Amino acid sequence: MSDQTSIDTLLAIMARLRDPTSGCPWDLAQTFRSILPYTLEEAYEVAEAIERGTLEDLRDELGDLLLQVVFHARMAQEQGAFAFPDVVRAICDKLVRRHPHVFGDADLSDAAAVRQHWEQAKAAERGRAAPAHGGDPLAAQGVLAGVAAALPALVRAEKLQRRAAAVGFDWDAIAGVFDKVREELDECHATLPEQTDPTERVHEVGDLLFSCVNLARHLGVDAEQALRAANQRFERRFAHLEAGLAAQGARPGPQVRAEMERLWDDAKAHS
C-alpha cells in the first residue's frame, strides 16, 4: 500500500485488520458494543483539540474519529447490514434534503429560518422512521423522540429543552428562568434534614441542574462547554495552589486550609 492518503486505503487497512485468518486478534474480537467507549472517547478528544486550538492535534483526532466510523461500518458490512459507501450515501442524501435553500429553490434567508427548517426536517424523518423501529408510534414520533440517551447529560438536557422550545414550551422572558433556578435551589436546601429520602435529594439536584442548563440556553451559553471550561479553570487554579504550598514545603490538607484559601484567591486573581 504505497498511497496512504485515500479513504479506500483506510477501508483496505480495516478489512485487513478484520481478516478472519490474518487479521489482528484484538480488532477481530471487537463488537459494536465493545468499541463504543472508544468512539465516545475519540469524539471528546476532538472537542479537546478544538478547545486547545491546535490544528495539528485536531487533524490527528479527526483521523482517530474517522477510524471509529470505518470500524463500525466494517463490522456492519461483515453482517450484511450496510457498508461504508452506504453511510456516506445516507449522510449525503440527508444534507441535500435538509438544505433545500442550497440544493433547491426554497427561500431560507437567515440562520434562524435554516435552523427551523432543519428541526422540521428531522421531525419528519423521525415520523417516517417510527414504524421501522417497532416501538410505541406516539413516543417514536413525539417532539422529544430521537434525542440519544447516550449523550452527556448536559448536552441532552439542552437538546430536550430546545425541542420543547421549538413548539412553544418555553419561558417568555429570562427573568422566569432565574426565578426557576432560585426555586430549585430552595428545594435542594429543603432536603438538608437527615430524615429526607435520599432519592428526593437526587431528584431535586437533578431539577436544579436541568434549570441551570435552561438558564445557560437562554443566555446563549453552551452548558457543556461552560462546565468543561470551569473544570479546566479549577484544575489550573488548584495546580497553582499546590505549587504555592510546595514552595513552602507543605501539601494540601485540612491543617493548611487558611493558606489554601489564600493561594486559591491569588490563583483566581491571575486567571
Residue 210 region, left (φ>0) first, then alpha (ψ -120 to 50), else beta? alpha
Residues whose CB falls within 8 Å of the CB of residue 4, separated by 6 or more in sequence, listed in order: none
Cβ atoms of 245 and 252 closer than 8 Å: yes
For residue 161, how many other CB atoms are within 10 A of its CB? Answer: 21
Cβ neighbours, 10 Å, residue 177: 19
Average pLDDT, the chain: 88
The proportion of the chain whose per-residue pLDDT surpasses 70, expressed as a percent, equals: 90
C-alpha 211/C-alpha 246 separation (Å) is: 40
112 or 46, which is more confident?
46
pLDDT grade, residue 99 (50/70/90)? confident
- Alpha-carbon gap, residue 151 to 32, rounded angstroms: 17
pLDDT digits (tens, 9 = 90+) for 157-192: 999 999 899 889 999 999 999 999 999 999 999 999
Mean local confidence (pLDDT), 6-23: 95
Predicted confidence (pLDDT) at residue 133 exceeds the cutoff of 50: no
Q: How far is CA 177 from CA 88, 106, 163, in A?
A: 41, 36, 17
Mean pLDDT on 113-124: 71
Does the pLDDT at position 231 exceed 60? yes
pLDDT 10s digits, 141-159? 678 887 888 888 999 999 9
DSSP annotation string for 223-254: HHHHHHHHHHHHHHHHHHHHHHHHHTT--SSG
Quote the CA–CA distance of 121 and 117 in Å, as a whole number.
6
Q: Do domains 7-141 and 153-269 have the same CATH topology?
A: yes
Spans of all domains in the chain: 7-141, 153-269
- pLDDT of 35 over the 50 cut: yes
What is the rounded CA–CA span in Å between residue 172 and residue 179?
13
- In the prediction, which pLDDT does 137 show? 53
pLDDT tens for residues 186-220?
999 999 998 889 999 999 999 999 999 999 999 99
Residue 140 confidence class, pLDDT cut points 50, 70, 90: low
Structure confidence at residue 131 (pLDDT): 46
Q: From 2.60.40.420, 1.10.10.10, 1.10.287.1080, 1.25.40.20, which CATH number describes the 7-141 domain? A: 1.10.287.1080
Q: What is the assigned CATH class of domain 153-269?
A: mainly alpha
pLDDT exceeds cutoff 90 at 236: yes
**What is the predicted pLDDT for the residue at 47?**
87
At 215 the three-state DSSP class reads: helix
Element (H, E) at 211: helix 198-218
pLDDT at 1 over 50: no
pLDDT of residue 110: 74
pLDDT of residue 15: 97
What pLDDT does residue 116 have? Answer: 74
- Spatial separation of the C-alpha atoms in residues 157 and 165, rounded to whole Å: 12
User: For residue 136, is pLDDT > 70?
Assistant: no
Q: What is the DSSP string of 49-106?
A: HHHHT-HHHHHHHHHHHHHHHHHHHHHHHHTTS--HHHHHHHHHHHHHHT-HHHHSS-
3-state helix, strand, coil in the chain (%, to 5): 75, 0, 25
The amino acid sitting at 59 is R
Task: Report d(CA 203, CA 261) in Å as an integer.
Answer: 32
Which cell is 237 given?
487554579
